[in-house]
A and B are shown apart, each in its own frame.
Chain A
Amino acid sequence: MSGKVLMKGNEALAEAAVRAGCRFFFGYPITPQNEIPEYMSGRLPEVGGQFIQAESELAAINMVYGAGGAGARAMTSSSSPGVSLKQEGISYMAAAEVPGVIVNMVRGGPGLGGIQPAQSDYFQATRGGGHGDYRTIVFGPATVQEMVDVVGKAFELADKYRTPVVILGDGMLGQMMEPVVLPEPIDPASLPPKAWATTGTGGRRPPVVINSLYLDAAECEAMNRRLQAKYREICAREQMAEIAFPDSEYFVAAYGTTARICRMAIQEARARGHRVGLLRPVTLWPFPAEAFETVIGRAKGFLTVEMSLGQMVEDVRLVVAGRAPVSFYGRTGGVVPSSDEILIEIEKMVEGGGSM
């Protein structure tokens, strides 16, 4: 046995977080991510951790701010409406450079929406989401295994860059069960110390402050420039994407659950003689422009498929920059596109020479 266990996505993600050294989780019930707080409520006490069901998603992100600012690996999870409530807190974390992981099991929106899977929070996640010039690192895992793997990576990058990191899943990824290999547990005590964290001066050092208030405009701008320098470094180093059939003439760009469905459509299209590949972003921010550049030269067209009415497609257009036609197909509100629907769009792309 290769140490595989069959686990529900939400629970696998929670266990991976514990194994990544997360000992503080603050959550709130909202379908389709309830198994994460449920799992954490039982698991964290076993490892000397703290679980709180907060009074709101908004309170929960502020608890992450406090715990992260105090030097701990802390996490919160929610789904679309709840994640909207967290945006102010995330903006504060970005500005005060507080690490933390925020999981969004996206559901149909806007408003109360539905509870089925969607990807219509892409803009919110990748454009900062709250007020001010900031970004968060955003992962878009496509399988339960990949979700487990990116959790460890998310905590690592959150600490490395002192920044909030978002994991964008969806209702399907959270609810489905798949066999996974869980990572080796990390002991949080073994993590490098954080001199900037509020631990109490002990009378031995000057006070530290976790703060995002800059009443002086020039100082506020300087803070922003520091953040932008950080983001440039993240863009240069942390892009992640998968390309299937890189020698293709046409590419489908999709992430998460949608990418899995596109794989099936692509296999059928290839069986019909179409030279189509898959370009699957794993990091949604930084957007994997490098991966696109490796295929743009010979690509005759890109089809972006999302469970939304077109959000990532704008990033694809930005990167492709008119060098090839970019078309879009999407379902939203919780409707999951079928591979047959996507196959029809692929054939339109191929037959139309990739016209809009």
Chain B
Amino acid sequence: MTSRDTERPLGAEVVYERPRALADVVTHYCPGCTHGIAHRLVAEVLDELDVAGRAIGVASVGCSVLAYKYFNVDMQQAAHGRAPAVATGIKRVHPEAVVFTYQGDGDLAAIGTAEIIHAAMRGENLTVIFINNAIFGMTGGQMAPTTLVAQKTTTTPRGRDPARAGYPIRVCEMVSVLDGAGYVARAALSSPSNIARAKKAVRKAFESQLGGYGLGLVELLSSCNVNWGMSPGDALRWIETDMIPVYPLGVFKDRSEAGAEAARMEVAG
């Protein structure tokens, strides 16, 4: 069944249709997985900024490994954790391109920590879409560096015990102290209002690249209802009740506006 985009009611104003930059395919993501929302927000922003024609995306390894099938833009598939390095190579060859990575928490915050820190250190004009769902999804629910304390996973069967498995890693806070980071924000995909705010953050992360302010990173708290063992709706509530207290939402850095936060960074820098 193909989507019926073309069947618009006569004379009606479009409120919502599939963004052009999003491929017209049904994704492999589990029912209720908010990866699909994140994909859509990226595509909507690419359309609104009218840059899909010069966008080059880098897919990572994890549940979103197939992201290269879901965007109507040129894409490269990177080795696990290496998307920021691959994207750096692309951006240096095509500085006028709009280069973005789409990475999960295992990819960015576990194996790829060095790559994201150094892409930010270098101030690469890239956009990083970072999906934090506090678990390794694709491989069946293992602990991720972003797994919460006491959260049960297949590798923390009695709950994550900091004495043995450490503490949740807060990527936005880490990256935002690097001078090369231009925009760093965390948002959540847990409700329509949070999704609206998330879209603004995604757009700002692209504008950071377009404006040459340095690395634009947006961390999106996302659900993994299947591996969390919850219904899709309960999973969204869990984001708000359990994840947000550990991962506070907000803008951690925005060099495009000399806001207080950014000013303080400049002084400290």
Contacts and interface: CB of A to CB of B under 8 A. Distances in A.
- Direct A/B contact, Cβ within 8 angstroms: yes
Interface of A: 24, 26, 50, 52, 54-56, 58-60, 62-72, 74, 88-89, 92, 96, 198-204, 207-213
B97 A199 contact: yes
A262 to B, nearest CB: 40
A71 B74 CA distance: 12
Contact of A207 (B74, B86, B115): B74
Nearest to A26: B89
Contacts of A92: 79
Interface stretch (B48-56, B160-168, B204-212, B237-245): B48-56
Interface of B: 52-56, 58, 65-66, 68, 71-79, 82, 85-90, 92-94, 97-98, 114-115, 117-118, 121-122
Contacts of A58: 82
A207 B72 contact: yes
Contacts of A69: 76, 86, 89-90
Contacts of B92: 24, 50, 52, 63, 67
Contact of A201 (B53, B85, B90): B53
Contact of A200 (B73, B88, B121): B73
A208 B77 CA distance: 11
Contacts of B58: 66
A200 B99 CA distance: 9
B94 A54 contact: no
B56 A55 contact: no
A133 B185 CA distance: 42
B29 to A, nearest CB: 15
Nearest to B76: A210
A55 B72 CA distance: 31
A235 to B, nearest CB: 28
A162 to B, nearest CB: 14
B118 A54 contact: yes
A68 B72 CA distance: 21
Contacts of B97: 199-200
Given A70-B56, A201-B53, A65 B86 contact: yes
A68 to B, nearest CB: 8
Nearest to B118: A55
Given A55-B114, A200-B94, A66 B89 contact: yes
A59 B115 contact: yes
A74 B89 contact: yes
Given A62-B115, A66-B85, A89-B79, 5 more contacts: A56-B114, A62-B82, A63-B92, A96-B76, A211-B77
Given A66-B86, A96-B77, A200-B53, A59 B118 contact: yes
Nearest to B91: A66
B77 A64 contact: no
B90 A67 contact: yes
B168 to A, nearest CB: 23
Q: Which of B88, B98, B122 has the most CB of A within 10 A?
A: B88
B93 A211 contact: no
Contacts of B74: 198-201, 207-209
